[in-house]
Amino acid sequence: MKIKLIISLALICALFSIFAGCTEDSGTVTEPPVSSTVKFKDVQAFLQIPSQVQFTFRISDSRSHAVVINSGTLTAPFRIFEDGAEIDYSETSYFVHPAASLELDMVVLLDFTNSMAIWKEGDKSGIDLEVDWAHELIDQLAPTHRMAIMEYHDRNVDAGVIAPFSADKMALSAALDAFVAQPLDHGSSRVWDALYSAVDIFDGGASATKERTIFFITDGRETSSDKSPSDVIAYARQWQASIFIIGTGSVNNETALTEISNQTGGEYYPAGSIDSFRQRLQQISRDLGGQYKLSYTTLKRVGTHDVRVQFEYEGLSGQFDTSLDLGSIYGDDRVGVITFDSPAVTSGHLRMVVRAQHIPRNIDRIRFRLDTPKTCSVSLIASADGGLCDGWSIAGPDSLGYFELASAIPLEFGDFGPLFNIDISPVTEITISIPFELDTTIYSEGKTFTCPGSINYTAPD
């Protein structure tokens, strides 16, 4: 659900001014004056039994630049209030994790039409810069994120998939290089159809726990799309996908491009020259670090309550407010929640992240088995990438096929994030379902977990 934001008039004026800050003649981006008020963008709330309240959002300053919080102080800038009273942090828990720990699928949509091919300064074309930037995004890809790469180059050909969703950096780079190396007729544009196709590639259905993002570079030249900007907005909202757009050169349909970004929780970046284009690409790379997920365990048992999240950090401040039915998620907090990220298959290996949405108290072991004759391996995720079990021991599979992860230090109560990776091979099937059995008999005092009973994968069309 979307949250009403409290934004100052000064900030609104600053946001309007940023879009006028780029000129084709100067090749530079003019920054507006700095305001101390931050903006919470694309705020979404997710309520989950037992008593788990989660918010995802991006924080940007008055220049629409990401606010990146020092990793050692992620929780300190935030305060949480229910019905005007600050929650009792000694009785409950709250956590804030950055973009690296989120379940994120991103689509990079590249414009290979003629107008981008002929847009040059020196020995670099617009297409050259697009490809270079796509490689940078691949290099920065977190282990818990997946990327797909798409392109469109002619109105007579539908937008195509260069690489399906994968977390394999080498496979993504190889697919991009192979596509760029082949001869290509750079034609005219079907901008809205291409964007609609980029939304259509997302899998797994709408999910409150998954972030979906599209990065799109275009000059906005539209010739013959069947879809309209309103179609794109409606479809992106259906999939809860945010669209970030860089408008290059003398942009056509800039109003529509800006509206698509704003209405989907993304951002529009004008870039009138090659130099400003480079600046915008760098800014988007920085802005990827300004996304966060905040989660806390509410002690409310019944009813609807007003919730406020306040933020103060290095002279910046802001807040958002909402009203939530907290009574609807009251439950036994001894029941943990484990989910699976969407699996991907690359070079015969099915890879998937196992993730916690809620951790009961004093969990220091996780034991499970995969009912398959295929080769299975388990690996940990570094804490820098959001992994909760970094430093734990891994044993198995034993004679019964069980893997066990263990640590002398238990996970923190109420925490969430990626636990570990699973790798299964060989996987050549179009559709496969592998039973997953979590051993909850190892826990005492009524503690247990809910989790999916199988890992399911269907190859993309």
Report residue 205's pLDDT band, with 50, 70 and 90 as the boundaries: low
Helix axes 191-200, 229-238, angle to 10 degrees: 10
The pLDDT value recorded for residue 21 is 34
Q: How far apart are CA 28 and CA 435, in angstroms?
A: 55
Cβ atoms < 10 Å from Cβ of 248: 27
The pLDDT value recorded for residue 4 is 35
Q: What pLDDT, in 10s, does the model give residues 151-170?
A: 988 777 788 899 999 999 99
Mean pLDDT in the chain?
A: 86
Contact at 8 Å (CB) between 406 and 364? yes
Contact at 8 Å (CB) between 94 and 296? yes
pTM: 0.78
Task: For residue 436, give the 3-state DSSP assignment.
Answer: strand
Q: What pLDDT, in 10s, does the model give residues 85-138?
A: 999 998 888 999 987 788 889 999 998 887 777 777 677 787 888 888 889 889
Task: For residue 140, give the 3-state DSSP assignment.
Answer: helix
Could you tell me what percent of the chain has a pLDDT over 90?
Answer: 60
Instruction: Please give the single-letter amino acid code of residue 5.
Output: L
Report residue 188's pLDDT band, with 50, 70 and 90 as the boundaries: low
Contact at 8 Å (CB) between 199 and 239? yes
The pLDDT value recorded for residue 187 is 63
Q: Kindly report which listed range (29-38, 168-177, 193-202, 343-352) carries the lowest average pLDDT score.
A: 29-38
Task: Domain ranges for the chain, please list them.
Answer: 9-95+292-329, 103-289, 335-458
Four-point Cα dihedral 8, 13, 19, 24, nearest 10: -140
Q: Report CA-CA distances (Å) from 79 to 31, 244, 305, 325.
A: 30, 29, 16, 20
The matching CATH number, chosen from 3.40.50.2300, 3.40.50.150, 2.60.40.2890, 2.60.40.680, for 335-458 is 2.60.40.680
Strands (DSSP E) contained in 223-290 are 241-248, 268-271
Domains 9-95+292-329 and 103-289 share a fold: no
Cα of first residue to Cα of last residue in the chain, in angstroms, is 31
Asked if residue 9 has pLDDT above 70, the reply is no
Q: Report DSSP state, residue 152.
A: E
Contact at 8 Å (CB) between 447 and 360? yes
17 backbone φψ class: left, alpha, beta (φ>0; ψ -120 to 50): alpha
Asked if residue 22 has pLDDT above 50, the reply is no
Q: How far apart are CA 185 and CA 175, in angstroms?
A: 19
Asked if residue 81 has pLDDT above 90, the reply is yes
Q: What is the CATH code of the structural domain delimited by 9-95+292-329?
A: 2.60.40
Q: Across the chain, how many H-helices and E-strands are there?
A: 8, 27
Instruction: Please give the single-letter amino acid code of residue 82.
Output: E
Q: Average pLDDT of 52-61?
A: 91
Q: What pLDDT, in 10s, does the model give residues 242-265?
A: 999 988 777 889 999 999 999 998
Fold of 103-289: Rossmann fold (3.40.50)
